Amino acid sequence: MNAASSVGGQRASIRGSQIAARSLGLVRRNPLPTTGAVILTTYIVAALAAPVIAPYKPNQMILDSRTGVVERLQSPSWHHFFGTTDIGQDVFSQTVYGARVALIVGLTSALIVTIVGGLVGLVAGYYGGHVDGILMRAADVAYSIPFEPFAILVVGMFHRGLSDIVFAIALVMWRAPGRVVRAQTLSLAQRPFVKAARVAGVSGPRIILRHLAPNVMPFIGLYAAVTVGWAVVAEATISFLGFGDSTHISWGVMLQTAFATGAVNEALWWTIAPGLATAIFVASVFLLARGLEHDATAAPVT
């Protein structure tokens, strides 16, 4: 690598830390996004430390130590904080382990969607012309696909569980960040520092990576957060409808079992725990996204 690119590399890393610092500083200053971040961190910690926090395994059928009878449909108690299911599983443990599935689906989907959406937006916005036309037509098609039915169809026909859900999300949800990043790129491409780089003979991909990408990071971050929310709700929905992956007990699978066994009305704890866990998780992610939204309107980093 020659001197110029290594300097450029240093500058990129400085810009990277600037972005990180600004994002962190912003979260600290605003109470709502900070609450979101705190709640989300709790979930992450719970997911990582699940074996430590959860008193039982999620699939474990718990037997009463004295009578040897399965502890089915027990209401919340000191032994079972959130009660038990119809086959004696501990709802609290299931909820804690469910955070793992939520985070995996959420983060994977967010990663793919933001990479695809970000790239599409940057390329379309920078190159314009036919490339832009084709990519935006593709976005139009994605906007015409009703997401939930599409995900249901894909999962229902391919039967591959969680990866199907992520696939469906990736195929459709890049549309929103794609359009927003494109709009931002279009305006950025007019700025002096980009024109200067062009004149200096810097290649397109390099301009995109070094100059444009860092400046659209706030938008990408925003959609990353929001996609986590969408993905978790999508997974819960698909699982609830019966197409989920029952080997990994997610919040959606819990709700599906509760609904299917008709225990919804009696075992309120079983119905409320996973649903509330999902709602609070998604809410925290949306709160975090709102904080990043402010940063998305700040001045560009050169």
Partner 1 sequence: MSAGFIRYVCRRLVYMVFTLWIIATLIFVIVRATPGDPTAYLIDPTFPANVKHQLIASFGLDTSVFHQYLLYLKNLAMGDLGRSFFYQQPVVAVLGRKLANTAILAVASFVIAYGLGIVGGVLLARVRGSRIDGIASVAILLLRSAPVFWTGIIALIIFSFRLNWVPYGGMRTPGYSGSTYFTVDFLRHLVLPAVVTGLYYLALPLLLVRSAMIEILDEDFMELARAKGLSPRRILYKHGLRNSLLPVVTEAAVYVGSALGGVAVVEVVFSWPGLGREIVLALTRHDYPVATGAFVMLALCVCAMNFLADLLYGYLDPRVTSV
Interface positions with partner 1 (CB under 8 A): 137, 140-141, 143-150, 152-154, 156-158, 229, 233, 236-237, 240-243, 252, 255, 259, 264-265, 268, 271-272, 275-276, 278-283, 286-287
Closest CB to partner 1 among residues 119, 241 = 241
Give me the least distance between CB of 140 and partner 1, in Å please. Answer: 6
Give me the least distance between CB of 203 and partner 1, in Å please. Answer: 32
Of 175, 168, 128, 131, residue with least CA distance to 150: 168
Give CA angle at 297 (292, 302), nearest 5°. Answer: 100
Closest CB to partner 1 among residues 156, 204 = 156
Closest CB to partner 1 among residues 104, 153 = 153
Give me the least distance between CB of 128 and partner 1, in Å please. Answer: 19
Give me the least distance between CB of 13 and partner 1, in Å please. Answer: 35
Give me the least distance between CB of 87 and partner 1, in Å please. Answer: 20
Closest CB to partner 1 among residues 56, 147 = 147
Q: Please, are residues 254 and 93 in contact by the beta-carbon 8 Å criterion?
A: no
Six-digit token string for 195: 């024109």
Reduced 3-state DSSP string for 229-282: HHHHHHHHHHHHHHHCCCCCCCHHHHHHHHHHCCCCCCCHHHHHHHHHHHHHHH
User: What phi and psi values does residue 60 have, to the nearest 5 degrees?
Assistant: -70, 125
Give me the least distance between CB of 148 and partner 1, in Å please. Answer: 4
Six-digit token string for 63: 């037997």
Closest CB to partner 1 among residues 129, 192 = 129
The single-letter code of the amino acid at 124 is A
Distance CA 212, CA 173 (A): 22
Polymer length of the chain: 302
* 210 CB burial (10 A radius; 0-12, 13-18, 19+): middle
Closest CB to partner 1 among residues 191, 290 = 290
* Cα 116 from chain centroid (whole Å): 14
